[in-house]
Amino acid sequence: MTQTKETTNKPTDQRGLAGQVIGDTSVCAVNQTQLMYRGYEIADLAANATFEEVAYLLLNGEKPTGEELAQFKAQLVSMREIPESVKEAIIHIAKNSPEAHPMGVLRTAVSLLSHMCPVCEDNSAENDMRKSMSLLAQIPTCIGTHQMALDGKVPVDPDPNLDHAANLLWCMSGEKPHESAAKVMDVSLILYAEHDFNASTFTCRVVASTNGDLHSCVCGGIGALKGNLHGGANEAAMKMLQEIMAEVENGTTADEFMQNAFETKKKLMGFGHRVYKNGDHRAGILRKWGLEYCATANQDAKKWFDLGDEVQAIMLRDKNIFPNVDFPCGMTYYALGIPVPQYTPIFVVARITGWCAHIMEQHQNNRIIRPLAKYTGSELRNWND
């Protein structure tokens, strides 16, 4: 499949580097009609690949053979355990600061893991790959440990018999997931795995360009992803739907809620995208799998998709704005029973693959990222005047 060329017309408002190309990458291509990982289109990957295959593709550059995939999965399984001291720290935070945002807890966990990594400061290609795989394997364990502790439960050990997505759900709940739950989670991880020079990935590359170690780069990425205009948008989208549902149950129609939101300029999360002006093709894929899960395992949750479809139709009718992938993500994860504050950490479970691919690419062909700024302050002044 050939890549569709993007328009060369740059946006008038170039704040936030809008429309400006700031580097080369072989990891991912994003334009208005296409999203490709290493040359493979996202719908193709969502339909035919597993998350572990996509993770291998992103980190290594090529689709794995059967033998390579088996070795890759075995290595990940062997790396899932986290040091006892890191586990204790996560549990301590959960018990003593239960209001702490899970993204902040995960950022702390990754920082702690760096101190126990014997090759943390070595940015060679070999050791960057070793660190990438370790974090890919350990992050679900960190998230699961935190959620189980918040629920007052004893964290479970990772299950070596479960694939990556299923093991994540197991670690978060202590219950073996339904087959359809594991499948929809696997697809969501594929959809979230990579997206070229987005804010968090660019943060990772900036840190990497200083010769920062991979763990430091990932901590920076987590910090950037935590914001509700980036990774936190899936949390915000679900909270918005919960607010609309409460109003609907009290007699207000979704249309009335939306018209009031338009009039008061209320921020409606999960809609619009810097690149995808005609719709985020990931959104339809995840909506489909979310509905399939509801049909097979949780029919009561379909009401959220019905409401989401109504809200989406109103946005398209009145504002000509399409949903992005965060919109169906909120509904899908809610149907799976995942606590809303954990939505963005799950984003990290996926995006760690893209981040690490970009960090390694930056380390291997590096020049420090140091753009210029346009000064808009006062003219030259004399201190003694």
pLDDT-derived band at 8 (thresholds 50, 70, 90) equals very low
Domain extent for 169:
43-227+345-364
d(CA 26, CA 38): 6
Whether the pLDDT of residue 52 is over 60: the answer is yes
pLDDT of residue 2: 40
CATH number of the CATH domain containing 104: 1.10.580.10
Query: Residue 7's pLDDT is what?
Result: 41
Residues 210-268 pLDDT 10s: 999 999 999 999 999 998 888 888 899 999 999 999 999 999 999 999 999 999 999 89
Output the pLDDT for position 12.
64
Q: What mean pLDDT is predicted for residues 320-339?
A: 94
Q: What is the pLDDT of residues 88-140, one digit of tens each?
A: 999 999 999 999 999 999 999 999 999 999 999 999 999 999 999 999 999 99
What does the pLDDT average to over 349-365?
Answer: 98
Within a domain: residue 25?
Answer: no
180 in any annotated domain: yes
Q: What is the pLDDT of residue 36?
A: 96
Looking at the structure, tell me whether residues 195 and 328 fall in a common domain: no
- DSSP3 helix / strand / coil % (the chain, rounded to 5): 60, 5, 35
User: In this predicted structure, what is the pLDDT of residue 359?
Assistant: 98
At 138 the pLDDT is: 98
Share of the chain above pLDDT 70, in %: 95
What is the average pLDDT value for the chain, to the nearest integer? 93
Active site residues: 230, 273, 326
* pLDDT average, residue stretch 176-203: 96
pLDDT at 276: 75
Burial class (CB in 10 A: 0-12, 13-18, 19+), 27: buried
Residue 33 located in a structural domain: no
Instruction: Report yes or no on 340 lying in a domain.
Output: no
Whole-angstrom distance, CA of residue 116 vs CA of residue 131: 11
Residues 153 and 73 in one domain: yes
Indicate the pLDDT class of residue 1, thresholds 50, 70 and 90.
very low
Regarding whether 164 and 80 lie in a shared domain, the answer is: yes
Is 107 in contact with 130 (CB distance < 8 Å)? no
Co-location of 219 and 246 in the same domain = no
In terms of average pLDDT, the best of 82-86, 229-233, 318-322, 369-373 is 82-86
Give how many domains the chain has, as a whole number: 2
Whether 329 has a pLDDT exceeding 70, the answer reads yes
Encode pLDDT of 56-79 as tens digits. Answer: 999 999 999 999 999 999 999 999
Strand partners, 40: 37
Which residues pair with residue 31 across a beta bridge? 34
Q: Which ranges in the chain belong to alpha helices (H)? A: 42-48, 51-60, 66-78, 84-96, 102-115, 125-150, 164-173, 179-192, 199-209, 214-225, 233-249, 254-264, 281-297, 302-319, 326-335, 343-364
For residue 108, what are its two tokens?
């702390």
Residue 5 confidence (pLDDT): 42
CA distances for 34 relative to 224, 233, 277, 282, angstroms: 24, 21, 12, 10
**Single residue among 295, 315, 335 that ends a domain in this structure:** 335
For residue 13, the model assigns a pLDDT of: 67
What CATH number does residue 316 fall under? 1.10.230.10
| pLDDT per position as a tens digit, 144-157 | 999 999 999 999 99
305 within a domain of the structure (yes/no): yes
Do 62 and 163 lie in a common domain?
yes
Least confidently predicted of 44-53, 141-150, 276-285: 276-285
Q: Token digits for 190?
A: 């594929």
Q: Which of 21-25, 55-59, 137-141, 381-385 has the lowest mean pLDDT?
A: 21-25
Which is nearest to 21 in space by CA: 51, 29, 217?
A: 29
Task: Please count the other Cβ atoms lying within 10 Å of the Cβ belonging to residue 223.
Answer: 14
In a domain, 108, yes or no: yes
Q: Do residue 97 and residue 220 come from a single domain?
A: yes
The answer to whether position 216 is within a domain reads yes
Give yes or no: residues 149 and 120 share one domain.
yes
Distances (CA, A) of 155 to 89, 315, 343: 13, 42, 19
Is 283 found in the same domain as 192? no
- The pTM of this model reads 0.92
* Cα gap 242→231, rounded to integer Å: 19
> Are both 314 and 355 inside the same structural domain?
no
Q: 115 lies in a domain?
A: yes
In a shared domain, residues 313 and 165: no
180 and 154 in a common domain:
yes
Instruction: Give the sheet arrangement for strand 28-31, strand by strand.
Output: 28-31, 34-37, 40-41
Residue 254 sits in the same domain as residue 128: no
